[in-house]
Chain A
Amino acid sequence: MAFLSYLINGLGLGSVYAIIALGYTMVYGIAKMLNFAHGDVIMVGAYVTYFALSLMKLPVLVSVLLAVAVSTLLGVTIERLAYKPLRQATSLSVLITAIGVSYFLQNGAQLLWGSSTKVFPSVISNGALALGGISISYLTLITVFVCLAVMGCLTLFINKTKTGKAMRACSEDKGAAALMGINVNQIISITFAIGSGLAAIAAFLLCATYPSVYPTLGSMPGIKAFTAAVFGGIGSIPGAFLGGLMLGIIEILAKAYISTQLSDAVVFAVLIIVLLIKPTGLLGRKLSEKV
């Protein structure tokens, strides 16, 4: 029974990782870059939600939507100002820039809002659903549900809409996509918008679970979600989803059965083993081209 409730908790944590990992993997898939500032967009989303809830006393849904709007705008602005001028640059320059943006956001938050930790208001009832001996907290239920909904909407969007198809085309071959009349820069902007909007949703779920808001709040979840994206196969949307869920489950099980301190080490050890066996990640594609 204990195992089952650990599993469910892991699923809850994994759902948050999955939502963040989707942002990483989409941006990587289209722009071919690792946006290390993604975690800090989560942090900004968390602050916006916090201010909306506790200072402006806005309803939960409105607060989250506001945070989604701000994060989306932030993500698109970062792409325009910091990454777009580097479209032709080496990937190392882009990577260093992304790390720079990450520090910029963290220090900016510290300057604007101070370095002290703010307590995120408790907005989701502490109740739990009792289900044959195990109890599942409402928060976990909501988190898993939101993650599934996000994944479902994203899959539909990518596979069924014209913009989604254009995104897939861009992820394969930007030159050929441009020859079709697809505005590649616009598609990259849309990708950043979606990824950053998702980061704000993740921020809310994260802070509802661990209710403290501080400038470096996004770093660890960001790195974990990046790991999840690589674990699942970076660039693959189902991969990020699966990777996120598995990472959450492995982390919680490692905490429960091995050691609380060692849990992160176990997570990364599993990542290394997976990459040794399957270098492209669980659902990553083999890079092959038919000439």
Chain B
Amino acid sequence: MLKVENLVVSYGMIEAIKGISFEVNDGEIVTLIGANGAGKTTTMHTISGLLKPVSGAIYLDGTDITKIPSHKIVSLGLAQVPERRRVFSQETVEENLELGAYTRRDKEEIAKDLENVFERFPRLRERRRQLAGTLSGGEQQMLAMGRALMAKPRIMLMDEPSMGLSPLLVHEIFRIIEEINKQGTTVLLVEQNAKMALGIADRAYVLETGKITLEGTGEQLANDERVRKAYLGG
């Protein structure tokens, strides 16, 4: 479904991504794990078009989306839950969700999906008229996920959904990611919390200073000596 080939991304003179290739197949949960600064968010931003690569290509269902502007990528079926959630804090919960469906024209379907999001995240329904900035971190994460779901994506990119959340909430968020995946959405997940990510991933890649150094199934990597040492605390 999503294929990244020899991607190179630079910030000025500094090469942040040094030629990585990976793919995400239909229906999978694939995770990129790595330390802070390994280039995980850069990779996500390049896929969704916020950053333009120096070289390499990104294919979504065989279509080259490398040069397509970010605002057009959403309607091709790719939505992103950005790092630090980035909800629109001065807009209400409901307005945030409506913005998620910005490119869609099917009003009735949008209303149904809004209902589905509220069913999945009852807290959001309770707070639908509240400004998103007044929500707690966990609620904001749910809102960011609900907002992405409103685009009706076939593939969802999630950037550090566990960041800053209590262990209990992290479990809850990961349970929801699995549920969303089971209902037919492919997931590309970027995480520092390698243990949780490998636990739900079909396949995984390890990103180190801009390069992919290891790959395998979630289980293989969870049992890999090097991964255990570097990311799972022994």
Contact = CB atoms under 8 A, between A and B. Distances in A.
Interface of A: 162, 165-166, 168-169, 172-173, 175-184, 285, 289-291
Nearest to B157: A179
Given A165-B95, A182-B102, A290 B72 contact: no
B133 A179 contact: no
Given A162-B102, A291-B84, A180 B74 contact: yes
Contacts of A184: 71
B82 A175 contact: yes
B71 A178 contact: yes
B102 A175 contact: no
A162 to B, nearest CB: 7
B70 interface: yes
A209 B164 CA distance: 58
A179 to B, nearest CB: 5
20 contacts: A166-B99, A169-B88, A169-B99, A172-B89, A172-B90, A175-B45, A175-B50, A176-B86, A176-B87, A178-B50, A179-B48, A179-B79, A179-B82, A181-B74, A182-B71, A183-B71, A289-B89, A290-B89, A290-B133, A290-B137
Contacts of A178: 49-50, 69-71
B80 interface: yes
Interface string B60-91: 00000000011110110001101010111111
A179 B74 contact: yes
Give me the 8 closest cross-chain CB pairs, A-B, nearest first. Answer: A181-B103, A181-B74, A176-B86, A178-B70, A180-B102, A181-B102, A183-B71, A180-B99
Interface residues of B, number: 32
B147 interface: yes
A290 B136 CA distance: 9
B80 A165 contact: no
A181 B84 contact: no
B100 interface: yes
B151 interface: yes
Given A172-B88, A291-B84, A179 B50 contact: yes
A168 B103 CA distance: 16
B71 A173 contact: no
B162 interface: no
B137 A169 contact: no
B100 A291 contact: no
B98 A165 contact: yes
Q: Which residue, B87, B88, B98, B140, has most C-beta atoms of chain A within 10 A? A: B88
Nearest to B99: A180
Interface string B95-122: 1001110110000000000000000000
Contacts of B49: 178
Contacts of A181: 71-72, 74-75, 102-103, 151
A169 B70 contact: no
A234 to B, nearest CB: 15
B86 A173 contact: yes
A177 B74 CA distance: 11
A179 B85 CA distance: 12
A291 to B, nearest CB: 6
A180 B70 CA distance: 9
Given A165-B95, A175-B82, A179-B86, 18 more contacts: A165-B91, A168-B91, A169-B88, A172-B88, A172-B89, A172-B90, A173-B88, A179-B80, A180-B74, A180-B99, A181-B71, A181-B102, A183-B69, A285-B90, A290-B89, A290-B133, A290-B137, A291-B84
Contacts of A175: 45, 50, 82, 86
A16 B83 CA distance: 43
B71 to A, nearest CB: 5
